[in-house]
Chains A and B, each alone.
Chain A
Amino acid sequence: MRFLTLAIILSLVFLISCRRTQVPTAEVNVAQVKEITLDPNAAVWDDVSLHISKMILQDLVEPRLMEPSTPEVQVKAITNGTEIAFRLEWIDETQNDLPGPKTFIDGCAVQLPAKVETNVPAPQMGEVGKTVEISYWRADWQAIVEGRTDSITSIYPNASIDHYPSEAKPLEKDPQAQGETALRYAPARALGNRRSGPRDQPVEDLIAEGPSTLSSAPNAVSKGKGVKTAKGWAVVISRPVPSGFSASTPSQIAFAVWEGSHTEVGARKMRTGWVILMMK
């Protein structure tokens, strides 16, 4: 009996060590699954092949990132035929999910060409006439989705506020008037800037045709979830399978990571070039 127990334990250790020494692939291989999961800790990821992308500085357009931070991102991908999900994991010792002056947010993004074609757009956010689609996850949006309230005290717990016009006594029983008054002092929300409002997804859909051209995608189709791990972040981003992408027609994908504590925001980021995306 003792020998059997020992054998089982040794077998488990062997299996686990085999997983840990998974050989990375040069391309991102998309595994077929029955159901897409947004959970970075779901067991389905264990059997998916691993790709490790080396990251490079965004040092082509100002403002540039001059000192490297995140060295690499580990990527896995699954699809159920209609949705495709990417699991990104990288090392980041600090958790930066509180916005504020001189504080920046951890985040990551996946970028795909809008059209699957041989002549791919420039990997630095596409080029004129060659649009790229970007799904962008942020740690502060994750916190909001998980229940952080739309209040300044959720960012500065000791903040003391005398008065907001939207919370004036005469408006107490009129939520519509309260909302309208609040919008007067939140012009970005009043204009429908998706960047600025309360969120139901921690991922934003964007399109670009080169640096400085980033704008909201016509439709919000991406979903996601990120969790802080012992060493960094593990994030799943899902979106519809790109039109034209199939087992016989590979596409390309690129990644970006922002390390908030390293003052990374916008163009100041670590990025990759295009990586081949293969349907298995």
Chain B
Amino acid sequence: MARVNNWQLGREMSYWYPESRPQKQFAAVFDTNKCIACQTCTLACKTTWTSGKGQEYMLWNNVETKPYGFYPLAWDLNLLEMLDGQQWSEKDGKHVYDGSTIFESAPAGERVLGWRPASEDYAYPNVGEDDCAGGVDGGASMEVPHQMAWFYYLARICNHCTYPACLASCPRGSIYKRPEDGIVLVDQGRCRGYQECVRGCPYKKVFFNPMTSTSEKCIACYPKIEDGLQPQCFANCIGKIRMAGFLNTPEKAQADNPLDYLVHIKKVALPLFPQFGLEPNVYYIPPIHVPTAFTKQMFGPGVDKAVEVYRNAPNDADLTSLLGLFGSTESIMRKWKRNGDLVMGMDENGKELVRVPFREPVHIRPAYDKLYQITRTNCP
């Protein structure tokens, strides 16, 4: 194994191949606070890519309700149990992962620590939908403060990891990471369906096709990326929770790169299970109403800071404006700029792609209309 730098862990780690970062890295930010689990993203992906024989059960994009939603069943719990509790520490304000990654925990004879879902684990794609973390007593929803019964929606695609476990697991080298944009693909001409990648991917975002006996996965809609467009699940998100782009490493962060700003500068968007060690490239703004004991396990030790920054967004015009750019255009915004109450998204050459107001005008209407001499009642 080689030693590579994983900035999400704050340390070096062992990986099957030497560090080789792409020229630019496809990445995304999902705002969990805005997702309503309408599954439009799921269907956009499904109809575009996985409507063939053998792909029936595949959901390259899915939305699950946490804490009791999983696709496949217990995809995260199984691995967390295998890792058996790990710790982060903090030194000089920097978080360092003291535990073992799935590469460092690989048993003898294996390339990574992993497990294989069976057919039945894929049989309940929306299990746990809208299930609360705790019981809700009759009438409790009318009481303030509310009981601590929470859930939230977690939209998931392939994380197009910097250190993909699927790629490390494939003994044939049939999986590759594109040097031009960091998108991770299964070479469908070379794959022999050993399912090692299915076993190795902790996010379970590689799927075995029983009709072709090869494995398939999210391709980040790379034909659209090559045309400067965001993937289908982004463009069709009616909740406007997603933004796709390219992310630099922390030391090269650019404030005018929307993803760099959210991930590195504001630190409001966090990786999914960074402790697994893959340096995943889909970042989540954590749900602000969920006990952080849960979200810290899922998004790492930066949760407190991220929630604080997000809660302060009404007082932070830059952050608010950038969040307003989510879902404003199908084009990939490589740069952004706020100008007063307007925010602009631009391509890599600075050409404006979209311009939107980020604060809607507020009109206060008096209850009594003097002109028409009537009283109007606002309905809640």
Closest to B204 in A: A101
Residues of A within 8 A of B194 (CB): 265-267
B350 in the interface (beta carbon within 8 A): no
In the complex, the answer to whether B119 meets A103 with C-beta atoms within 8 Å is yes
Determine the distance from Cα of A130 to Cα of B191 in the docked complex, in whole angstroms. Answer: 23
Interface string of A212-235 (1 = CB under 8 A from B): 101100000000000000000000
Interface string of A189-219 (1 = CB under 8 A from B): 1111101110000000000000110110000
Interface string of A87-109 (1 = CB under 8 A from B): 00000000000111111100000
Task: Indicate whether A193 sits within 8 Å of B172 (C-beta atoms), given known contacts A63-B110, A64-B109, A103-B119.
Answer: no
B210 in the interface (beta carbon within 8 A): yes
B171 in the interface (beta carbon within 8 A): yes
Interface of B is mostly: loop
Q: Of the listed stretches B48-56, B335-343, B367-375, name the one at the interface; the rest are far from the partner chain.
A: B48-56
In the complex, the answer to whether B108 meets A66 with C-beta atoms within 8 Å is yes
Determine the distance from Cα of A263 to Cα of B110 in the docked complex, in whole angstroms. Answer: 13
In the complex, the answer to whether B171 meets A188 with C-beta atoms within 8 Å is no
B122 in the interface (beta carbon within 8 A): yes
Shortest distance from the beta carbon of A132 to any chain B beta carbon, whole Å: 16
Determine the distance from Cα of A201 to Cα of B116 in the docked complex, in whole angstroms. Answer: 30
With beta carbons under 8 angstroms apart, the residue of B118, B122, B190, B211 that contacts A152 is: B211
A14 in the interface (beta carbon within 8 A): no
In the complex, the answer to whether B116 meets A196 with C-beta atoms within 8 Å is no
167-199 of chain B: CB within 8 A of chain A: 169, 171-173, 188-196, 198
Interface string of A45-65 (1 = CB under 8 A from B): 000000000000001011111
A143 in the interface (beta carbon within 8 A): no
A164 in the interface (beta carbon within 8 A): yes
B147 in the interface (beta carbon within 8 A): no
Determine the distance from Cα of A265 to Cα of B171 in the docked complex, in whole angstroms. Answer: 11
Determine the distance from Cα of A66 to Cα of B108 in the docked complex, in whole angstroms. Answer: 8
Task: Indicate whether A185 sits within 8 Å of B50 (C-beta atoms), given known contacts A195-B214, A266-B196.
Answer: yes
With beta carbons under 8 angstroms apart, the residue of B56, B190, B196 that contacts A193 is: B190
Shortest distance from the beta carbon of A89 to any chain B beta carbon, whole Å: 25
Determine the distance from Cα of A64 to Cα of B117 in the docked complex, in whole angstroms. Answer: 20
In the complex, the answer to whether A99 meets B171 with C-beta atoms within 8 Å is no
Determine the distance from Cα of A214 to Cα of B170 in the docked complex, in whole angstroms. Answer: 13
161-181 of chain A: CB within 8 A of chain B: 161, 163-166
A150 in the interface (beta carbon within 8 A): yes
A186 in the interface (beta carbon within 8 A): yes
In the complex, the answer to whether B191 meets A267 with C-beta atoms within 8 Å is no
Task: Indicate whether A59 sits within 8 Å of B109 (C-beta atoms), given known contacts A102-B117, A102-B118, A189-B212.
Answer: yes
In the complex, the answer to whether A193 meets B211 with C-beta atoms within 8 Å is no
Q: How many residues of A contact B (CB 8 A)?
A: 48
Task: Indicate whether A62 sits within 8 Å of B191 (C-beta atoms), given known contacts A152-B210, A185-B55, A188-B214.
Answer: no
Residues of A within 8 A of B53 (CB): 150-152, 164, 182, 185-186
Closest to A187 in B: B188
Task: Indicate whether A63 sits within 8 Å of B171 (C-beta atoms), given known contacts A182-B53, A186-B52, A187-B188.
Answer: yes
Shortest distance from the beta carbon of A79 to any chain B beta carbon, whole Å: 30
Determine the distance from Cα of A160 to Cα of B211 in the docked complex, in whole angstroms. Answer: 15
Residues of B within 8 A of A187 (CB): 188, 216
Determine the distance from Cα of A215 to Cα of B209 in the docked complex, in whole angstroms. Answer: 20
In the complex, the answer to whether A196 meets B214 with C-beta atoms within 8 Å is yes
Determine the distance from Cα of A212 to Cα of B192 in the docked complex, in whole angstroms. Answer: 11
Interface string of B79-112 (1 = CB under 8 A from A): 0000000000000000000000000000011110
In the complex, the answer to whether A195 meets B192 with C-beta atoms within 8 Å is yes
Residues of A within 8 A of B116 (CB): 101-102, 263
Task: Indicate whether A188 sits within 8 Å of B109 (C-beta atoms), given known contacts A99-B193, A150-B211, A165-B51.
Answer: no
Task: Indicate whether A102 sits within 8 Å of B51 (C-beta atoms), given known contacts A62-B109, A186-B212, A189-B212.
Answer: no
Residues of A within 8 A of B196 (CB): 63, 266
Residues of B within 8 A of A61 (CB): 171
Residues of A within 8 A of B276 (CB): none
Shortest distance from the beta carbon of B70 to any chain A beta carbon, whole Å: 15
Residues of B within 8 A of A193 (CB): 188-191, 212, 214
Closest to A184 in B: B52
Shortest distance from the beta carbon of A180 to any chain B beta carbon, whole Å: 12
Determine the distance from Cα of A228 to Cα of B214 in the docked complex, in whole angstroms. Answer: 25
In the complex, the answer to whether A185 meets B52 with C-beta atoms within 8 Å is yes
Determine the distance from Cα of A188 to Cα of B116 in the docked complex, in whole angstroms. Answer: 22
In the complex, the answer to whether B111 meets A196 with C-beta atoms within 8 Å is no
A155 in the interface (beta carbon within 8 A): yes
B141 in the interface (beta carbon within 8 A): no
Determine the distance from Cα of A193 to Cα of B192 in the docked complex, in whole angstroms. Answer: 9
Residue of A101, A152, A195 ringed by the most chain B CB atoms within 10 A: A101
B208 in the interface (beta carbon within 8 A): yes
Interface string of A26-38 (1 = CB under 8 A from B): 0000000000000
A4 in the interface (beta carbon within 8 A): no
Determine the distance from Cα of A214 to Cα of B209 in the docked complex, in whole angstroms. Answer: 20
In the complex, the answer to whether A99 meets B213 with C-beta atoms within 8 Å is yes
In the complex, the answer to whether A164 meets B52 with C-beta atoms within 8 Å is yes
A1 in the interface (beta carbon within 8 A): no
Closest to B116 in A: A102
In the complex, the answer to whether B118 meets A101 with C-beta atoms within 8 Å is yes
Determine the distance from Cα of A197 to Cα of B209 in the docked complex, in whole angstroms. Answer: 12
Closest to A206 in B: B192
In the complex, the answer to whether A102 meets B195 with C-beta atoms within 8 Å is yes
18 more contacts with CB within 8 A, not counting A59-B109, A164-B51, A214-B192, are A63-B109, A64-B109, A66-B108, A99-B213, A101-B119, A101-B210, A102-B119, A152-B54, A152-B56, A152-B210, A184-B52, A185-B50, A187-B188, A189-B212, A190-B188, A191-B189, A193-B214, A196-B188
Q: Can you name 27 A-B residue pairings with CB atoms under 8 Å?
A: A63-B169, A64-B110, A66-B108, A100-B119, A100-B210, A101-B122, A101-B195, A102-B116, A102-B195, A103-B118, A104-B195, A155-B211, A156-B119, A164-B53, A185-B53, A188-B214, A195-B212, A195-B214, A196-B188, A196-B193, A196-B213, A212-B172, A212-B173, A214-B172, A265-B195, A266-B192, A267-B194
